[in-house]
Amino acid sequence: MNILKKTIFSVLASLLIVGNVYASDKIKIGTEGAYPPWNSKDASGKLIGFEVELAYTLCRYMGRQCEIVEQDWDGMIPALIMRKFDAIMAGMSITDERKKAISFSQGYADEVASLAVMKGSDLEGMETPAGIGLSSPNGDAKKALKTITAALAGKTVCTQSGTIHQNFLDSGDVGKINLRTYKTQDEVNLDLVSGRCDVALAAAVAFSDYAEKSGKPVVLVGPTFSGGAFGNGVGVGIRQDDTELLKTFNAAIKKARKNGDISRIATKWFGFDASM
């Protein structure tokens, strides 16, 4: 038994040598790098965006060294749990479902979602209010949902997989649609432009950013959505047992908000103050 224990231990030890043993004061923050203007990459591959800049600001307030790590969206929460990094700042909305697996800091920014189509689509000019809240839908919101359900019936709707947008489309609030999910927002955009999708759902700023950068005639239609399946703002995702880190982040966010940092950085990247 002793020999067996020794062999297993040496195998694990050698895996550690090949892997990296984590034991420093640095905070590693995971982000997708593929969801502009929240987070993306510049031409040289460096991670940039609202959250990247906010992360460095928060780390300054926390008095800690930070490292931003890139991670695919669908592996984001498992990677956090697996300790690939210690915090998630990837435009991840705070939802009850996600809270079952991880903790969230207080929200630092709000994300409103919207449908988008190519210019000239027959879905343009939908008769709905400018924005609806789904946490406690009033009569206007319910009417808007009915209009949308009728408009989307049988259409192909595309969105990124594992997002609040997919949850909303799956929830039945917009009836029966032909739902397609993709690994990244970029793929959603490409299939919207190529005509494979009739309409797509994502953060409103994601579409306006794409329309601006690519020059393609992508336009927003329908109301902006918030609340309900869309969660309550975007926060920092942290492992459930990491209570110390959670406290530290919350304190930093409070400071950043008080000093107007969040508003400033948000305005720089979104064109308007999306902070909360």
In the complex, which residues of this chain contact other proteins (CB under 8 A)?
Answer: 5, 8-9, 12, 15-16, 18-23, 34, 44, 70-72, 74-75, 77-78, 81-84, 97, 101, 158, 161-162, 180-184, 186, 190-191, 194-196
| Cα 192 to Cα 200: distance, rounded to the nearest angstrom | 7
Q: Among residues 186 and 273, whose Cβ is nearest to other proteins?
A: 186
> Least distance in Å: CB of 43 to other proteins?
8
> Least distance in Å: CB of 82 to other proteins?
4
Q: Among residues 23 and 130, whose Cβ is nearest to other proteins?
A: 23
> Least distance in Å: CB of 45 to other proteins?
8
And the tokens for 157?
A: 């709707």
| Cα 145 to Cα 147: distance, rounded to the nearest angstrom | 5
| Cα 72 to Cα 24: distance, rounded to the nearest angstrom | 24
> Least distance in Å: CB of 70 to other proteins?
8
Q: Is the separation of the CB atoms in 204 and 163 below 8 Å?
A: no
Q: At what angle do helices 50-62 and 261-270 cross, to 10 degrees?
A: 160
And the tokens for 256?
A: 């950043």
> Least distance in Å: CB of 190 to other proteins?
8
Contacts of 227 (CB under 8 A, 6+ apart): 133, 134, 135, 136
**Looking up tokens 């808007």, which residue turns up?**
144
Q: Among residues 78 and 260, whose Cβ is nearest to other proteins?
A: 78
> Least distance in Å: CB of 39 to other proteins?
15
| HSE of 153, CA atoms in CB hemisphere, 13 A | 5
Q: Among residues 5 and 258, whose Cβ is nearest to other proteins?
A: 5
Mapped onto helix, strand or coil, the DSSP state of residue 256 is: helix
Q: Among residues 13 and 153, whose Cβ is nearest to other proteins?
A: 13
Q: Among residues 94 and 274, whose Cβ is nearest to other proteins?
A: 94
| Cα 178 to Cα 227: distance, rounded to the nearest angstrom | 23
> What are the two backbone dihedrals, phi and then psi, of residue 197, each rounded to the nearest 5 degrees?
-110, 140
Q: Among residues 77 and 113, whose Cβ is nearest to other proteins?
A: 77
> Least distance in Å: CB of 35 to other proteins?
13
